[in-house]
Amino acid sequence: MTSSPAPLLLLDGQLTVIAASTSFCEVFGADAAELTGQPLYALDAGEWDSPALRSLMTATLAGEGTPGARDIDLDRPRRPVRHLIVQARRLTYLDLEQTRILVAVSDVTDMRADAVSKEDALHENSVLLQEVRRRVANSLQIIASVLLQNARKTRSDETRGHLKDAHHRVMSVAALERLLSTSEDGDIEVQAYFRNLCENIATSMIGDVDQISLTVEGGEGVVDARVSVSLGLIVTELVINALKHAFPDGRSGKITVDYNFHGPNWVLCVRDDGVGMSLATPRRTGLGTNIVKALAGQLNASVEVTPEHPGTQVSIKHTQIALVQDEPETAGEPLAAARPKPNAIRG
C-alpha cells in the first residue's frame, strides 16, 4: 500500500489512520509518521470533516456493499480549494474483530479547472460566431436593399427582373444567417426558417396578400446550416417562379410550401393553384430551374414537376433505403441531416 501510485489511507474500525501511501503524503503535503494515529476527520485541522465523507464512511462501516464515490471540497486555510473524489472499501480478513478500511482519494482539481476553461472557451467562440452571423445577415440585408433600389431605378424590364431575383436570393441567405445568429448549436428549425423566408418573400413580392397567399405546411424538424442554405434557396427559386408565371393578368391563388421528414427520407414540395403548364409548348429551362436542379443534386435529391388540376407542383425528394428501426443519419451525410423532433413525423 505504501508504494501505491494512488493516494491511499488505511483506517481501523474507529476511522483512525493506520498507514498512508507515499503518494498521499506527496499530494497533500503530509508526513506519514504524523498521519499515523490521527482520526480521519481530524486531518488538516478538521478540514476533512464533511457530511459527504461521513456519509461514505458510515455506509462503509455498515458493510453496505461498495458505496458510491463522494465529491468533497477540501478547503484549507491560505491554500486553494481542492476538489476530491473519495472511495472507501471495507477489507475482509479472517480476523473479523480487526476492521480495516481502505480509502482511495483522487484529486480532480486540475481536471475540473481544464473542463471549465474548455467550456468557457466554447461559449466564447459560440458567442463570437453568433455575432459574426448577425453582422453577415445585416450586411446581406444592405446588399439586398441596394439591389432593390437599383431594380427600381432601371428602365429595362429584363434588368429589373434579374435584380429583383438577385435581391430575393440574397434575402433568403440573410434570413438563414439571422436564424443561425440565435441558434445555440448551429441547427435550424425548418418550420421557423421557411415561415420567416416566405414572410420576407411575400412582403417584397406580393402586393395584395388577399389575392395571392403564401403558406407553409409540414411537420417539425431540424437540419444543419449547410443543408438549410440549399433548402432555403430552393424554396426561394420555386416561390419566385410561381409568382412570376402561375397567376397572370391579376389572377388570384395560393402557393404552398410543404415538407415532411420520414427518418432519413424527406420531401419538399412547392405547389400552386395557378394556370399550370402548357403541355403543347416546350418548357424553357431558365436560371432558376438550373439553380434548383444544382441545389437538389448537392443534397442527392431528385426534382419532379407534376401538373396539378389546377396548378403545378414541384417536388424535391430524397430517398434512402432504411430499416424501420433505423434512426436518422447525422448531418454529415449529404442527404441531410433532417433530425425530427419528438413530435415530428418519423419513418
Helix H or strand E segment including 286? none
The grid coordinates of residue 299 equal: 443534397
Strands 339-340 and 221-224: antiparallel
As a three-state string, the secondary structure of 223-238 is: EEHHHHHHHHHHHHHH
- What pLDDT does 216 receive? 92
| Structural element, H or E, at residue 303 | strand 302-307
Note the pTM of the prediction, 2 decimals. Answer: 0.53
* Long-range contacts formed by 147-150: CB under 8 A, 24+ apart: 148/204
Other C-beta atoms closer than 10 Å to the C-beta of 56 total 20
Q: What's the confidence (pLDDT) of residue 269? A: 93
Non-local CB neighbours of 261 within 8 Å, separated by 6+ positions: 219, 221, 328, 338, 340, 344, 345, 347
Long-range contact pairs involving 327-333 (C-beta distance under 8 Å, separation at least 24)? 327/263, 328/261, 328/263, 328/264, 329/264, 331/187, 331/223, 331/224, 331/226, 331/227, 333/264
The per-residue pLDDT for 285 is 62
Q: How many residues does the chain have?
A: 347
In angstroms, the CA 282 to CA 291 distance is 19
Question: In the prediction, which pLDDT does 284 show?
Answer: 54
pLDDT on residue 343: 36
Domains and CATH numbers, the chain: 8-107 (3.30.450.20), 206-347 (3.30.565.10)
The runs of H, that is alpha helices, within 181-277 are 190-205, 225-245
Question: What per-residue confidence (pLDDT) applies to 332?
Answer: 36
- Cα separation, 136 vs 211, in Å, equals 34
Question: Which residue in 221, 220, 233 sits closest to 177, CA to CA?
Answer: 233
CB 306 within 8 A of CB 315: yes
Q: What is the mean pLDDT of each run of 10 residues along the chain (347 residues)?
A: 83 89 85 88 85 87 76 75 85 73 86 79 75 77 83 87 80 72 70 84 74 87 80 87 86 91 85 79 66 89 89 90 47 42 35
Chain position carrying cell 412582403: 203
Q: Which pLDDT value is given to residue 209? A: 66
